Amino acid sequence: MTSQTVVQNSAFELEQVLVVIERADAIASSMTLDPLLDRMLALLIEIAGGEAGTLYLVDDDEIVFQVVHGDPASQHLVGMRLPINIGLVGATIRAAQPLWIEDINADPRWDRRLGEANSLQLRSLLSLPLLLEEQVVGVIQIFNPQRSEPRLLKLLGNRMAAEVEKARLLKKSQQRESRLSALVEIVGHIGSTLDRKTLLNLIIDYARILLDAEASSLFLTEPETGDLILQHSTGHLHERVQSVRLAKGRGIAGYVAETGETICVGDVKRDQRHDGSVDQMTGFDTRSILAVPLRTRCITFGRERAQSEEHLIGCIEVLNKRDGRFDDDDKLLLQTLARQAATVLEIADLYADVNELFLDVIQALTAAIDAKDPYTEGHSKRVSEFAVAIAEELELEPSFIHHLRIGAILHDVGKIGISDGVLKKPGRLTDDEFGEMKSHPEIGERILGHIRMLQTELPVIIQHHERLDGSGYPYGLAKGQISLGGRIVAVADAFDAMTSDRPYRRGLPIEEAFRRLRAGADTEFDAVCVEALWQALNRGRVRPQRLRDDIGDHRIINDATPFRTPLTPSA
């Protein structure tokens, strides 16, 4: 070969190299991670004249089967995670040099599972590491190559390794930003409710979604025993869990709730803390777990100053990462979610305690009314039940029903200010006595008007004796001036008054009470509220006093025909 021929061949090879590098630059400059890997593998297979190829990326102590070219039968392997030391891929990583295998079937390092999944007749193999600062970040394998271009392939592999790492870091950064944005939105949703059940559902649902896990669960510590009680689970686990209780310190969840440590286990079968009994109970196969503690601060008030102490109240765990394994970013996200969740949960518990105390005070006031007027014992509670039943039939908002329930219980609180002689008189009231009785809504307004938490309930207390035609009291309000709560309780109050027994008379039958209510519809009572109560009674949602006292009388006449008998006014 003449020197001129050598020069010509060298010039041709250089031109080829420049073209290949130009193509590689085009791939690197315009691709995100997945398309970059796909086209990069295709280019290297073309240069080597191979029939097929695979590309793996290194992820901690595992390799991830990322791309397959040339063999559709092997596509199901994409996403598979394998130990980093397995087969010829592991050998390539350890050598950090290209490996040329003339006969892979005769090489003991060849993973037979990969060969069985392949529909091609695999003979030879070029296994090329992707090196970045002398660290292997991936491996490309080209099967049945026709040309050996080790220097060019190595050059391209190392050139592309940097692009792969940049694309991978960019993808991870974008994922982190997206997940942090999602976390901010999730925290906002969690903070939008103080209902404990709703809150627990939100926390655990969002934990699974945020960390892309198959299932998630939330345990809270039972103060008396220290046992962990499963509060809620989601994902595949939700369908199978009935009731789970873990003894104090048992399982990974128990360990986390007791020590306050965050635990991340890639393979629970190798961790002695894992309690397999839950899997046996549910049939769920737990492979990996990330568990973080739930902490709250308890404030204790002393003589000199309040003290705040941290308490471990439970654990959140997510199970089986769908793509890959739980990492430090996952830990940070779940810890942040747990902190926010524990804070809102603590507020919800405080709200529940305050609300329970508030309702206890309401019940105490109701008991005081009953003690003052024993003839109407239980009246306020029944009126509240009837009013709620009407509101539910009308499909009103839960917040409205909550305030209506309280207002209805307190609707007669002003009777505390009525003299015993009038309140307990067994016979008919004189005009003066009836005038005094009619003052109880205004007395109720004076008693409760300054209580900030009861401002929404005040209209019910004031207006439950107002009538649509303006003939009611205390202010003679007409139809458009009476609140919906006032109209509802007016119907509930009148119905209970008519159907309840008194020492001086027997309560009316239900059908007669409704005959009178319907007779006063649209003049005294709201017709829609009357029919809603009728439907609630027929559905069995509520029962009047006589049906509660007389177990044998369960008949309710289903007759919607309005009656026209005048309704007798009642205080």
Q: What single string gives the DSSP state of each residue in 187-240?
A: HHHHTT---HHHHHHHHHHHHHHHTTEEEEEEEEE-TTT--EEEEEEEETTTTT
CA torsion 367-371-377-378 (nearest 10°) is: 0
pLDDT, position 233:
79
Closest CA to 233 of 168, 298, 161, 281: 281
Kind plus residue range of the DSSP H or E element containing 355: helix 328-372
Considering just the CA atoms, what is the radius of gyration of the chain in Å? Answer: 38
User: b or e along 296-323 (b: 16 or more beta carbons within 10 Å of the residue's beta carbon)?
Assistant: beeeeeeeeeeeeeeebbbbbbbbbbee
Closest CA to 541 of 380, 391, 376: 391
Per-residue pLDDT of the chain (571 residues; tens, 9 = 90+): 444 433 333 443 556 666 666 676 666 666 677 787 888 888 888 888 888 888 988 887 788 888 888 777 677 788 788 888 888 988 988 988 888 888 888 888 887 666 555 566 788 888 888 888 888 888 888 899 887 677 777 777 777 777 777 777 777 776 667 676 666 676 676 666 667 777 778 888 888 888 888 888 888 888 888 888 888 777 655 555 556 788 888 889 888 988 889 999 888 888 888 888 777 777 788 888 999 998 876 655 455 555 556 788 889 999 998 877 888 888 988 888 888 777 777 777 777 777 777 777 777 877 777 777 766 678 888 999 999 999 999 999 998 999 999 999 999 989 888 888 888 887 788 889 889 999 999 999 998 888 888 899 999 999 999 999 999 999 999 988 999 999 999 999 999 999 987 766 788 999 999 999 999 998 999 999 999 999 999 988 887 766 655 544 333 333 333 332 333 333 3
d(CA 492, CA 489): 5
d(CA 36, CA 55): 11
Encoded tokens for 563: 């009656």
For every residue of 405-425, which 3-state class applies, written as one string? HHHHHCCCHHHHHCCHHHHCC
pLDDT, position 477:
94
User: What sign does the dihedral 461-464-466-469 (CA atoms) show?
Assistant: positive
DSSP letter for each residue of 523-547: TTB-HHHHHHHHHHHHTTS---HHH
CA 33 vs CA 38, 137, 255, 304: distances in Å = 9, 14, 39, 61
pLDDT, position 551:
43
Tell me how many degrees the CA angle 544-547-548 measures, rounded to the nearest 5.
Answer: 85
The residues, ordered by sequence, that sit 6+ positions from 301 with a Cβ below 8 Å of its Cβ are none
CA 256 to chain centre: 22
Tell me how many degrees the CA angle 518-528-388 measures, rounded to the nearest 5.
Answer: 105
Kind plus residue range of the DSSP H or E element containing 246: strand 245-246
Residue ranges of domains in the chain, CATH in brackets? 16-173 (3.30.450.40), 191-348 (3.30.450.40), 373-549 (1.10.3210.10)
pLDDT, position 518:
95
3 state SS of 253: helix
d(CA 152, CA 186): 50
3 state SS of 132: strand
- The whole-model pTM stands at 0.54
d(CA 345, CA 217): 15
The residues, ordered by sequence, that sit 6+ positions from 284 with a Cβ below 8 Å of its Cβ are 215, 236, 237, 240, 278, 319
Estimate the share of the chain in helix, then strand, then coil, as percent rounded to the nearest 5.
Answer: 50, 15, 30
Encoded tokens for 232: 């809620």
Q: Which residues pair with 292 in a beta bridge?
A: 316
The residues, ordered by sequence, that sit 6+ positions from 185 with a Cβ below 8 Å of its Cβ are none
